[in-house]
């Protein structure tokens, strides 16, 4: 982060007391810090403390009290390499989402050309409220980066999610962003994610528990590093954030097969993270199958296309192919056999061990296995962190 110019926006939360450590850590990393604080923020930490630590006058009002000089939010927005809003209260988040420019922090945000990072801080019920979550989703859709709050003891006396992430965690997020943002510049990457639906009749289908979270996290991680990403997504309620992600929504395994074959021809790297149904009903009823008096119903299934094996068979030498596996018995042995059989470069073995590594969870732990048989463990952590670790591994492998 040496030489990076950071705007630190501070709003009115008890977590503003952590801003002193944030500034100190950013400056230790070599960054320049300009503080912009809301009037409410000054109730929790003094501008004098912030100016002393940042070695810059703190900006709070549109005009200087002393000489009437105008503080230009436009100039600030052009100066910065990144803007960090920490803490970001529910009110500030709402104003950012809806463009309510009634203080210097919001006008600076609206003028900022650089990436914006938001570290929410509020009580657990405020954070969980649908309006706050919708506002955060809206900010993500604009391309902003939300640094998820932690769970812990809150100022209200309650305990839950809403506590602003610790300064070292926040600085690590910014550091990683600047370190890795262009490592995949110019690369074309295809990622499959989510489940597939195999229709039985117009209202029923066969599927699995995949949420798509891991594949979406991989897509965001690649896009943040400069890649041009094609995300082929099965049915899921997840949304993409980064504008460099081209999303293609599909439903069945056949749909995903066709989209993958088409996209793979022009890509440098393919990551097959989707949980594609291995089989589909032999016949799809045109009308809803009615419940009759019989106690049993029999369905016949046929095998779906094997996307990984097909791509492995016709890929070119410059292309890297990464598959995913989930096994419940002899996991390493089965994954290695799948890697060889489908001509993959790397296989990512998912784990179902433990309640925090399961379908739909926000955390995961995986094992990476390459063609030489080398095994690399990635411990339990958020799926975003796992995605970053996988991409780090692939970047180092292809150097």
Q: Which residue range(s) make up the domain with 147? A: 5-180
Residues 194, 112 within the same domain: no
Closest CA to 219 of 251, 185, 244, 254: 244
* Residue 127 located in a structural domain: yes
CA angle at 316 for the pair 313 and 319, rounded to the nearest 5°:
105
> In the listed set 137, 153, 180, which residue is the last one of a domain according to the structure?
180
pLDDT at 381: 85
Residues 213, 142 within the same domain: no
Residues 315, 199 within the same domain: yes
CB 125 within 8 A of CB 87: no
pLDDT at 72: 61
pTM of the model: 0.67
Residues 227, 254 within the same domain: yes
At residue 169, φ and ψ (nearest 5 deg) are: -65, -45
Residues 79, 205 within the same domain: no
Residues 317, 277 within the same domain: yes
104-111 and 90-98 helices, crossing angle to 10°: 40
Residues 77, 38 within the same domain: yes
pLDDT at 160: 83
- Three-state SS for 302? strand
Residue 169: beta bridge partners? none
- The token pair that represents 345 in the structure block: 């470069």
DSSP 79-96: H-SEEEEEEE-HHHHHHH
d(CA 213, CA 278) in angstroms, rounded, equals 20
* Residue 291 located in a structural domain: no
pLDDT at 133: 92
d(CA 164, CA 145) in angstroms, rounded, equals 14
* Residue 228 located in a structural domain: yes
DSSP 342: T
pLDDT at 65: 57
> In the listed set 180, 201, 228, which residue is the last one of a domain according to the structure?
180
Positive or negative, the CA dihedral 388, 389, 393, 396 is positive
Residues 313, 228 within the same domain: yes
Residues 208, 331 within the same domain: yes
pLDDT at 225: 87
Residues 372, 392 within the same domain: yes
* Residue 83 located in a structural domain: yes
Report the CATH number that the domain containing residue 240 is assigned in CATH.
3.40.50.10300
d(CA 113, CA 80) in angstroms, rounded, equals 8
* Residue 145 located in a structural domain: yes
pLDDT at 85: 97
pLDDT at 63: 63
Residues 252, 376 within the same domain: yes
* Residue 289 located in a structural domain: no
Give me the number of domains the chain comprises.
Answer: 2
* Residue 202 located in a structural domain: yes
At residue 365, φ and ψ (nearest 5 deg) are: -140, 135
CA angle at 204 for the pair 200 and 205, rounded to the nearest 5°:
65
Residues 215, 156 within the same domain: no
pLDDT at 350: 87
* Residue 198 located in a structural domain: yes
Question: Out of 135, 144, 182, 208, which one is annotated catalytic?
Answer: 208
> Each residue of 57-72: b (16+ CB within 10 Å) or e?
ebbbeeeeeeeeeebe
- Three-state SS for 378? strand
The answer to whether residue 398 is catalytic is no
Closest CA to 322 of 339, 334, 310: 339
pLDDT at 194: 95
> In the listed set 138, 160, 180, which residue is the last one of a domain according to the structure?
180
399 residues of the chain, pLDDT tens digit each: 889 999 999 999 999 999 999 999 999 999 999 999 999 999 999 999 999 999 999 998 866 655 555 556 667 778 899 999 999 999 999 999 999 999 999 999 999 988 899 999 999 999 999 999 999 988 887 878 888 888 888 777 878 888 999 999 999 889 888 877 778 888 999 999 999 999 999 999 999 989 999 999 999 999 888 899 999 999 999 988 777 899 999 999 999 999 999 999 999 999 999 999 999 999 999 999 888 767 888 899 999 999 999 999 999 999 999 999 988 888 899 999 999 999 999 999 987 665 655 666 888 889 999 998 899 999 988 888 899 899 999 988 876
């Amino acid at each position: 982060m040496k030489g990076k110019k950071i705007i630190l926006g501070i709003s009115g939360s008890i977590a503003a007391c952590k801003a002193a450590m944030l500034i100190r850590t950013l400056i230790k990393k070599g960054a320049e810090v300009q503080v912009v604080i809301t009037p409410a923020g000054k109730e929790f930490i003094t501008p004098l403390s912030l100016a002393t630590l940042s070695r810059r006058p703190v900006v709070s009002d549109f005009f200087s009290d002393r000489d009437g000089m105008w503080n230009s939010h436009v100039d600030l927005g052009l100066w910065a390499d990144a803007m960090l809003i920490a803490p970001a209260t529910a009110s500030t988040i709402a104003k950012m989402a809806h463009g309510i420019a009634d203080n210097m922090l919001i006008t600076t945000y609206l003028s900022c050309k650089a990436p914006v990072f938001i570290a929410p801080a509020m009580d657990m019920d405020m954070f969980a409220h649908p309006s706050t979550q919708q506002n955060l989703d809206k900010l993500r859709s604009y391309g902003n980066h939300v640094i998820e709050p932690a769970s812990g003891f809150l100022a209200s006396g309650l305990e839950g999610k809403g506590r602003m992430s610790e300064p070292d965690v926040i600085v690590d997020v910014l550091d990683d962003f600047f370190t890795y943002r262009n490592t995949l510049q110019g690369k074309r990457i295809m990622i499959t994610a989510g489940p597939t639906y195999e229709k039985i009749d117009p209202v029923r289908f066969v599927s699995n528990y995949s949420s798509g979270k891991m594949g979406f996290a991989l897509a965001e991680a690649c896009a943040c590093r400069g890649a041009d990403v094609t995300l082929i997504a099965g049915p899921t309620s997840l949304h993409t954030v980064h504008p460099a992600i081209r999303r293609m929504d599909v439903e069945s395994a056949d749909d995903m097969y066709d989209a993958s074959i088409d996209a793979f021809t022009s890509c440098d790297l393919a990551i097959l993270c989707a949980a594609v149904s291995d089989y589909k009903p032999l016949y799809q009823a045109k009308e809803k199958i009615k419940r009759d008096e019989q106690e049993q119903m029999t369905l016949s299934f046929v095998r779906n296309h094997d996307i990984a094996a097909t791509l492995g068979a016709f890929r070119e030498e410059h292309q890297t192919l990464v598959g995913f596996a989930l096994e419940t018995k002899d996991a390493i042995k089965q994954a290695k056999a799948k890697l060889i059989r489908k001509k993959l470069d790397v296989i990512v073995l998912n784990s179902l061990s433990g309640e925090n590594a399961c379908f739909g969870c926000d955390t995961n732990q995986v094992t990476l296995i390459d063609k030489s048989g080398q095994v690399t463990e990635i411990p339990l952590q958020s799926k975003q962190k796992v995605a970053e670790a996988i991409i780090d591994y692939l970047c180092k492998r292809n150097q």
